[in-house]
Structure 1
Amino acid sequence: MKISKLAIDIGHNVQFDGGAVGIRSENELNYEVGTKLIEKCRAEGLNVINCTPKSATSLYDSLNQRVKAANNNNADFFISIHHNLCTGGHGSEILCIPGGRAEEAAKIILTEIAKLGFTNRGVKARNDLFVLKNTNMSAILIECAFCDSPVDMNNYNPESMAEAIFKGICKAFELNVSEDNRSTEQANYYIVVRGDTLYSIAKRYGTTVEKIASLNNIANADIIYEGQKIKVK
């Protein structure tokens, strides 16, 4: 089940199409996981179409732009990144139109996510979702976790989630990736996302602002930028 062109949609994140708000904002989580996933796929030579619109005039326009980006670029598979909201719920699930390629890939990817410790809520049939029923290619919508769940959000790591989804993609679509090289790279570097500070990054990796600044020749610890690759070890 090989592919050469993958469509990735970072859910919501545009006017008229905002995400859920819980302990953390779904928009923020979708953005962090989605951008990291796109970066990982492109780093391995996969042609990725980012289907996230830059602006929209309505909810329909937002959803339609995502579908058109995938269809017009003849993508082989479509993945939409989301986070759930439901008081009392926790865990990860993947939504798709059942049968065939979508369901097969969903099961493989969800297995990788569950290895992070999230409850596996299963692959669920959703024939009604706009982005699933209007894409020409097989499509899945990943509900990574519940953004209002203390169980899920405690120590939630967008990097780990993106890596788990990426591993699932590699297994589902038979991409040849050196696990040893990726493990070393993942352990030593971090890609800055919106809202990060050197303090938050240092805290996440059990190090200090001073050490990270020294490793990366950062003169002003208050200035880092989105997309910056930072050595943490």
Structure 2
Amino acid sequence: MAKVYLDPGHGGYDSGAVGCGKREADCALEIAKRVCALLPGKYFDCKMSRTSNHTPNDSDPSADLGRRAAEANAWGADVFVSIHLNAGGGHGVETYRSVAGGKSTTLAIDIQQAVQSTTGMPAHGEPVKIKIGDGGRDWICVIRETNMPACLVECGFIDNPTDMNGWNADKYAQGIYNGICKYFGITTAVPVTKPTLRYAPSSAAVRSDTTMDVTKPAGQSYTVKLTCAAGCPSVTAGNGAVVDITRTGVSGNAYFFKLTGKRRGAAGIFVGGKKIFVFKVV
């Protein structure tokens, strides 16, 4: 089963670009949620860098970029796909790959071509691009710091009415999904039913079966049960280097998350941006 790490750009206090009555952080999250729901469980395991507009580093968006790359590396993701919208008055879609080329280029080309096909949007200049930073390394942090093939797709220009009139998150999600399937050699025409997960807003009432701090040795896990009538709560760690969080099951309004200690330290466990307990690894 391939592990796909989806990174809806920005979040927290960082709205990203703003235009035509929309915020980049919101649009990117809409697309990512739909891609994750489309990916068939028979072939893929999906993890997202955020599932709401809160992040563990709300007050420092730049620091959260490193957290996302480190989380994908620790999870052992097979691919990393960062989802953004462009700004600056251009028109069309484009995808960035690693300067190292290889499988990152293949992933970027597959996604770019599929997104253009499903949306009918043109490429913005050269369809697949690189951004070179100091020493000839990748300028884009989540491409530079990840260990797996990674790309960043720009889903139209948020400040261009031509791109945003009739903008459709479902079409962009379908394109990214098709591109991922093509990269892994999976025929998208073979449907595998997977129920769409409804996410709760950050303001939703959530009841946790754990409110006291939890201590576990590195490598061991603890499962927390969260009950929320509004949908799946967003669960994040204040320090992603200490603990890995994986949703393991759903039963009615109950959602189960496995917390696995990665290295010694302590991390606050946040639900909808509110800390509910501390997970300590010894």
Scaled to the shorter chain, the TM-score interval is: 0.7 to 0.9
1:138 aligns with 2:160: no
Question: Does 2:48 match 1:50?
Answer: yes
- On the 8 A contact 1:14/1:62 being kept in 2, the answer is no
Instruction: Look up the match of 1:104.
Output: 106
Amino acid at match of 2:122: T
Identify unmatched segments of 5+ residues in structure 1.
196-223, 228-233
Query: In structure 2, what is the equivalent of residue 25 of structure 1?
Result: 23
SS of corresponding position for 1:144: strand
* 1:53-80 deviation per Cα after TM superposition (whole angstroms, max 9, x unaligned): 7320413321111111101111111100
Residues 1:155 and 1:225: Cα distance change in structure 2 (over 3 Å): farther
**Distance in 2 (alpha carbons) for counterparts of 1:50 and 1:136:** 16
Relative to the length of structure 2, the TM-score reads 0.61
Gaps of 5+ in 2: 132-137, 202-228, 233-282
RMSD: 2.7
The answer to whether the Cα contact below 8 Å between 1:108 and 1:168 also exists between their aligned partners in 2 is: yes
One-letter code aligned to 1:90: H
Distance (Å, rounded) in 2 between the aligned partners of 1:134 and 1:46: 23
Q: Which runs of 4+ in 1 moved over 6 A?
A: 189-195
**Matched residues, percent identical?**
29
Equivalence for 1:151: 162
Q: Structure 1 or 2: larger helix share? A: 1
Residue in 1 that maps onto 2:72: 70
Structure with more relative contact order (C-alpha pairs < 8 Å, separation 6 or more) = 1
Residue-by-residue CA offset, 1:117-171 (whole Å, 9 max, x unaligned): 1111210012201111001111101101111111111111101110111011111
For 2:70 and 2:144, how far apart are their aligned partners in 1?
12
Partner residue, 1:118: 121
Larger radius of gyration: 2
Are residue 90 (structure 1) and residue 91 (structure 2) matched?
A: yes
Rounded Cα–Cα distance in structure 1 between residues aligned with 2:55 and 2:102: 32
The match for 2:4 is 6
Pick which of 43-52 and 106-115 moved more.
43-52
Check whether the contact 1:92–1:110 (CA below 8 A) recurs between aligned residues: yes
Q: In structure 2, do the counterparts of structure 1 residues 191 and 156 end up closer, same or farther at CA, with 3 Å as the change threshold?
A: farther
Paired residues, what number?
190
